């Protein structure tokens, strides 16, 4: 059977069909690195760099000349606007909807034309897209003539997770269209884990040339030094991984994430941006108390790309985008396999090796030295809002913030606030006047010593802002401290002062919220006095 691939990206969706013996006859994407990567791994396929919306609107003769008939059409419209990681799911959906409807228009033009051979079609996207695809579209709604209705969500349409098809990644996606149910090959007892990926590829700096067997394709082995985009290390600076750890494990009321990655399970969803200092950063342990980002090859194997698949980008960032935006080939293979079996066909008995194009320039990251990133100063008007780390008790936390400053006139103000819970209905903020006699007397002398020791490191508000904006090295040359450091010092003091059980003891105060956990009250009292 023939396959046409729209929004083809790096070719992950087509790759599963290629491995299942299908004939890929057409592919399109508007991003040059994607077109080059597709062409480089699938020479002989008609690949065009074009806009799918434009193609969907072509006159019939031009449309049919450009897009060959095929029994199968697959497509993965860009999903960024539908992803929950984009503005917490509140990003503008209009462009994403236009791309989906352009793809559906192409499906309809091929499916309902006279003499159509189209039998199967699939749309892949993030699960949230389900709410933006109607169950049926009339010809008029797609801007076409006729009285047909295209149904989109019958049969096998639903959510699927790539990990149950053998991909070493926990990547849930929504599939809709006309296709048979893909049969899972794995369950929670035999998933392919991140550790298996790392073990199979080995240390990126290993210099021997032993054969490496692909964890995803056991009959594919390559000499270690022939594996592309793997033999380098992108090590993280202290400030990078510390920021990521704080966001992963102490991000208010959001759930804790593993730091470094939990390698005993499939990887988390591989992102298109391999960031270093974010909550979503994918961070691996590296030697003793050091950390690094995955190589492009490790990320590609997590996505179940074979180790002989090349990514034709000029930079590490471009290659990671190619990988992270792709459809896992193991998932697409499951769909292709279901189609073959429904038609009583036969599947290839071994993995078909890739023959790369000799006409496209390939940049290999192997051997490139990536220096550890130098911390740079923050801008003078940088904002700050964070709580005493790892101290949230009964939904209360103590925050230090400069949000109430006059940033336009560089007049800075640092405030201490008690925050309760989160969400529009539950979240509350308190700034009570808290006299020391509300706190048991046995702690007063130690608290006073803490204040005396730290007051000299906290200058006026404007200078404290300057200290915050310095790099760690610059700040260490001054007698000052920064906001993260003072919050960490406060947490360390409370832990030393109070046994864990005592931290949760409630004390009564005159103002709202009228009672507070002792540790929260002490933290608030100390910081309020330091920034009075």
Dihedral angle sign, alpha carbons of residues 272, 22, 20, 106: positive
Angle of the 444-455 helix axis to the 518-530 helix axis, nearest 10: 30
Contacts of 512 (CB under 8 A, 6+ apart): 430, 432
Please report the sign of the dihedral spanned by the C-alpha atoms of residue 493, residue 495, residue 497, residue 502. positive
- Per-residue tokens: 110: 């091929």
Q: What is the number of other CB atoms lying within 10 angstroms of the CB of residue 93?
A: 16
Neighbours of 464 (CB within 10 A): 23
Q: Which of 8, 79, 176, 206 is catalytic?
A: 79
Q: Which residues of 162-172 are buried (b: 16+ CB within 10 A; e: fewer)?
A: bbbbbbbbbbe
Residue with tokens 């032993």: 210
- Please provide residue 159's backbone torsions phi and psi, each rounded to the nearest 5 degrees: -90, 140
The span from the CA of 261 to the CA of 192, in Å, is 15
**Integer Cα distance of 13 and 177 in angstroms:** 15
CA-wise closest residue to 216 among 159, 97, 299: 299
The yes-or-no answer on residue 206 being catalytic is no
Q: 């790392």: which residue's tokens? A: 198
How many angstroms separate the CA atoms of 135 and 277, rounded?
40
**Tokens found for residue 59:** 């006159």
d(CA 265, CA 167): 11
DSSP string, 184-229: P---TTSPPPHHHHHHHH--TT-----EEE-SS-TT-EEEGGGS-S
Which residue matches tokens 């790096």?
10
Helix (H) or strand (E) holding 137, with range, is: strand 136-138
Look-up of token digits 């992963």: 248
Q: How many other C-beta atoms are found inside a 10 Å radius of the C-beta of residue 347?
A: 12
DSSP 56-69: HTS-HHHHHHHS--
Burial class (CB in 10 A: 0-12, 13-18, 19+), 29: buried
Supply the residues annotated as catalytic: 79
């Amino acid at each position: 059977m023939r396959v046409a691939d729209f929004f083809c990206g790096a070719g992950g969706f087509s790759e599963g069909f290629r491995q299942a013996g299908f004939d890929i006859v057409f592919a399109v994407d508007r991003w040059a690195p994607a077109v080059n990567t597709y062409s480089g791994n699938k020479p002989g396929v008609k690949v065009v760099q074009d806009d799918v919306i434009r193609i969907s609107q072509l006159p019939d003769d031009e449309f049919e000349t450009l897009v060959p008939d095929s029994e199968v059409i697959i497509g993965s419209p860009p999903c960024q606007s539908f992803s929950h990681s984009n503005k917490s799911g509140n990003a503008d959906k209009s462009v994403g909807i236009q791309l989906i409807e352009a793809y559906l228009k192409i499906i309809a033009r091929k499916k309902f034309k006279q003499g159509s051979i189209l039998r199967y079609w699939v749309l892949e996207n993030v699960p949230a897209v389900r709410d933006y695809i109607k169950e049926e579209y009339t010809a008029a709604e797609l801007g076409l003539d006729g009285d047909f209705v295209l149904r989109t969500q019958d049969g096998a349409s639903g959510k699927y997770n790539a990990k149950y098809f053998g991909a070493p990644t926990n990547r849930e996606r929504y599939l809709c269209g006309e296709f048979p149910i893909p049969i899972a090959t794995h369950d929670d007892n035999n998933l392919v884990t991140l550790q298996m990926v790392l073990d199979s590829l080995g240390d990126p700096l290993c210099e021997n040339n032993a054969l490496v067997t692909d964890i995803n394709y056991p009959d594919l082995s390559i000499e270690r030094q022939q594996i592309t985009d793997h033999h380098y290390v992108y090590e993280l600076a202290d400030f990078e991984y510390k920021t990521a750890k704080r966001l992963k494990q102490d991000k208010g009321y959001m759930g804790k994430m593993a730091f470094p990655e939990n390698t005993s399970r499939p990887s988390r969803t591989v992102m298109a941006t391999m960031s270093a200092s974010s909550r979503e950063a994918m961070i691996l342990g590296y030697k003793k108390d050091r950390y690094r980002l995955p190589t492009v090859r490790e990320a590609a194997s997590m996505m179940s790309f074979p180790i002989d698949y090349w990514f034709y980008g000029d930079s590490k960032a471009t290659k990671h985008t190619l990988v992270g935006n792709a459809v896992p080939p193991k998932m697409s293979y499951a769909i292709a396999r279901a189609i073959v079996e429904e038609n009583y066909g036969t599947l290839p008995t071994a993995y078909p090796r890739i023959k790369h194009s000799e006409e496209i320039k390939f940049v290999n990251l192997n051997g490139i030295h990536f220096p550890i990133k130098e911390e740079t100063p923050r801008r003078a008007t940088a904002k700050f809002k964070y709580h005493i780390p790892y101290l949230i008790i009964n939904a209360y936390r103590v925050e230090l913030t400069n949000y109430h400053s006059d940033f336009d006139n560089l007049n800075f103000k640092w405030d201490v606030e008690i925050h309760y819970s989160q969400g529009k209905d539950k979240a509350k903020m308190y700034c009570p006047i808290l006299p020391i006699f509300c706190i048991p007397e046995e702690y007063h002398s130690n608290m006073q010593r803490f204040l005396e020791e730290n007051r000299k490191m906290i200058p006026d508000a404007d200078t404290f802002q300057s200290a915050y904006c310095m790099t760690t090295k610059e700040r260490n040359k001054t007698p000052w401290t920064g906001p993260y450091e003072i919050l960490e010092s406060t947490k360390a003091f409370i832990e030393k002062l109070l046994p864990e059980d005592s931290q949760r003891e409630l004390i009564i105060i005159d103002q709202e919220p009228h009672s507070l956990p002792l540790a929260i009250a002490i933290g608030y009292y100390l910081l309020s006095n330091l920034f009075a």
